Amino acid sequence: MVVAEVAAGLPVRDFRWYKGRRHYSGWYHATTGDRLVAYESRLELARILLADFARDVVGIAAQPFQVTADDGGRSRRHVPDLLLVHDDGLVTVVDVKPPDRAQEAKFVEQFAWMRRLCSLRGWNFEVWSGADPVVVENVRFLAGYRRRLVVEPRLFPEVLQAARGQGCVGGIERALASRHSVEMVRPALLHLVWSGALTADLSRPLGTRTPVRLAEEVAG
């Protein structure tokens, strides 16, 4: 299996939409790889959002492949939910399941089987049942500003410069208020947080008091 080809491929199974469907499914346009990624539930979408926001993820694929193999005399077949490629070459295969269903015996056995198969290739296997809801909602909100089409790129240098002397969202906005409206500055600022040029405390709901720093200062 060539990881790059799998990561760039389409889902191996078709998605079905019909009236009364209980799961919320659709397509998300990821900045990682500049491509559409399919999801079959809001929980899957949340994991995709976090992967798209992660600095070390360089590839995201949904329903990337189907595995058929023997498991102690039992034939198993499974399509994992996601495949993530990291900048160091590491691969993570992800199965997304709500906490209650992840504890069901049939899934526990399936996950153990997948973990063994992934380890044979030197891959990680992750069962994801959710994360801090505040962090997830903050990332979901930031994703609305992920594309440069919805912001004003010419403001980026000014926002970054203001961030050198200000420690929060509101401070940056006030520092630029004499030249630009909040409606112009805030989308540019949030895009810079999404892209990683700025870092923000996402453990609490985003607001004007949210601490913001230059990523280069944090790294230093």
Q: What is the mean pLDDT of residues 59-84?
A: 90
Phi, psi of 36, deg, nearest 5: -85, 135
3-state secondary structure 7-71: HHCCCCCCCCCCCCCCCCCEEEEECCCCEEEEECCHHHHHHHHHHHHCCCEEEEEECCCCEEEEE
pLDDT for the residue numbered 23: 66
Q: Is the pTM of this model over 0.75?
A: yes
pLDDT for the residue numbered 132: 97
Q: Is the pLDDT of residue 70 over 90?
A: no
Could you read off the pLDDT of 113-167 as tens digits, one per residue? Answer: 999 999 999 999 999 999 999 999 999 999 999 999 889 999 999 999 999 999 9
pLDDT for the residue numbered 18: 56
Could you read off the pLDDT of 31-45 as tens digits, one per residue? Answer: 999 999 999 999 999
Higher pLDDT, residue 74 or 203: 203
**Which among 46, 37, 45, 40 has a CA at the least distance from the CA of 22?**
40
- Among the ranges given (11-15, 52-56, 76-80, 178-182), the one the predictor scored with the smallest mean pLDDT: 11-15
